[in-house]
Structure 1
Amino acid sequence: MIHFRALSFGIALALGPVVALAQETNVAFGSIKADPTLPVEVTADSLDVNQEDGSAEFKGNVLVGQGEMRLSAQRVLVIYNEENSGIDRMEATGDVVLVNGPDAAQAQRADYTIESGVIVMTGDVLLTQGENALSSNKMTVNLITGTAQMVGRVKTILKTDGN
């Protein structure tokens, strides 16, 4: 289900798709609310650990899993908290794909703050929900509430002919 806050339609068209543009749109994301306290599993082709700054860089076919949420990218930088007792945040770059339930989003970059359960995706963001697709410059996903906000030239194609 897509909720359009910044978009209002007073026109009903009988034929053909409608291209809709907006500056901001709120959408539901994922059928399952995520739990950021669950363990994070990361697999990759290679791993470089930096003890000095408390980070780990995963490269090549990186797959991150946390509960039902999956994130894949070519590179993921994991930054640990000050005590090195847990992950503070992750920065994913290169062919980033985020999947939660039936919803999937693609972008050039994703920054995931673990404690808040918020992922900010930037760069040619494309969200697919079944047959619906939306694109924007930036999407902020709250995994805890199962919602997302898309900003910056939001575009979608709305089918009005029943097909």
Structure 2
Amino acid sequence: MKPRDSTLLPLGCFLLGLTVTPAAHAAGDDADEPIRINARSVEANEKTGTAVYRGHVVAEQGRLSIRADRVEIRARDNQTELIQAIGSPVKLRQQPDATTEEIQAEARRVDYHVLSGKLDMIGDVSLRRGDDLFTGSVLHYDLDTRSLSATGDDRSDGRVHAVIQPRKPTPPA
């Protein structure tokens, strides 16, 4: 298992994919930045293609960061298949650029299925950009089709909640 090719670069893609906004994809130059992962421990097994980071895991790449209790990366034939982050909660942040509001997301578990381009956020999901807020119990996002589905929050009325602030029109160029 080659660390840069099989495990670290997809983590950056995972973080980029969480943002669900076109401005975030402009931050693609972050993929060229080094990924820094800090944890209390790591267990990697090249034979099984797994790496498990435990204990206050912090992964950063450029303007992207993830904080979790545990991050597991599974690969086969030098291809990352799954990146799973578990926490109380998992916290993700991205500052796409200097003119775009910071994006923050939280969930108890985040699964990124690398090969299919699917992202699942599970348990007490919260996604915030500026004053816009989305909450629910489960969020599924397809990076290829840019489609999203969500189910309601179990703790309240079983519904998905969104607060979207009005935007000022952009003046013509």
Fold equivalence (TM over 0.5): yes
Q: Percent identity?
A: 26
Counterpart secondary structure, 2:24: coil
Greater Cα shift, 29-38 or 42-51: 29-38
Equivalent residue, structure 2, for 1:70:
65
Q: Does 1:97 align with 2:91?
A: yes
Counterpart secondary structure, 1:70: strand
Instruction: Tell whether the 8 Å contact from 1:74 to 1:93 is kept in structure 2 after alignment.
Output: yes
Query: What residue ranges of structure 1 are gaps of 5+ in the alignment?
Result: 1-26
**Aligned-residue CA RMSD (Å):** 3.2
Residue 42 (structure 2) aligned to one of 38, 44, 47: 47
Instruction: Tell whether the 8 Å contact from 1:92 to 1:109 is kept in structure 2 after alignment.
Output: yes
Aligned length: 131
Equivalent residue, structure 1, for 2:80:
87
Greater Cα shift, 117-126 or 148-157: 148-157
Change (3 A) 1:67 1:108: same
Q: Which amino acid aligns with 2:137?
A: N
- Ranked by relative contact order (alpha carbons within 8 Å, sequence separation 6 or more), the top structure is 1
Distance 2:42 2:147 in 1: 31
Query: What residue ranges of structure 2 are gaps of 5+ in the alignment?
Result: 1-18, 96-101, 153-159, 167-173
Instruction: Tell whether the 8 Å contact from 2:131 to 2:164 is kept in structure 1 after alignment.
Output: no
Structure with more helix by fraction:
2
What's the TM-score once normalised by structure 2's chain length?
0.60
Residue 162 (structure 2) aligned to one of 147, 156, 159: 156
Q: 1:139 offset after TM fit, Å?
A: 1.9
Distance 2:116 2:52 in 1: 22
Greater radius of gyration (CA): 1
Change (3 A) 1:37 1:157: closer
Change (3 A) 1:105 1:30: farther
Structure with more strand by fraction:
1
What does the per-residue CA deviation read over 1:43-72, in whole Å, with 9 as the maximum and x for residues that have no partner?
211101234422111001112234543222
Distance 1:148 1:103 in 2: 18
Q: Which amino acid aligns with 2:73?
A: V
What does the per-residue CA deviation read over 1:110-139, in whole Å, with 9 as the maximum and x for residues that have no partner?
011334554211101011111222201122
Greater Cα shift, 65-74 or 128-137: 65-74
Instruction: Tell whether the 8 Å contact from 2:131 to 2:165 is kept in structure 1 after alignment.
Output: no
Q: Which amino acid aligns with 1:97?
A: K
What's the TM-score once normalised by structure 1's chain length?
0.64
What does the per-residue CA deviation read over 1:68-120, in whole Å, with 9 as the maximum and x for residues that have no partner?
4322210001111x22x243221110121122331111000001133455421
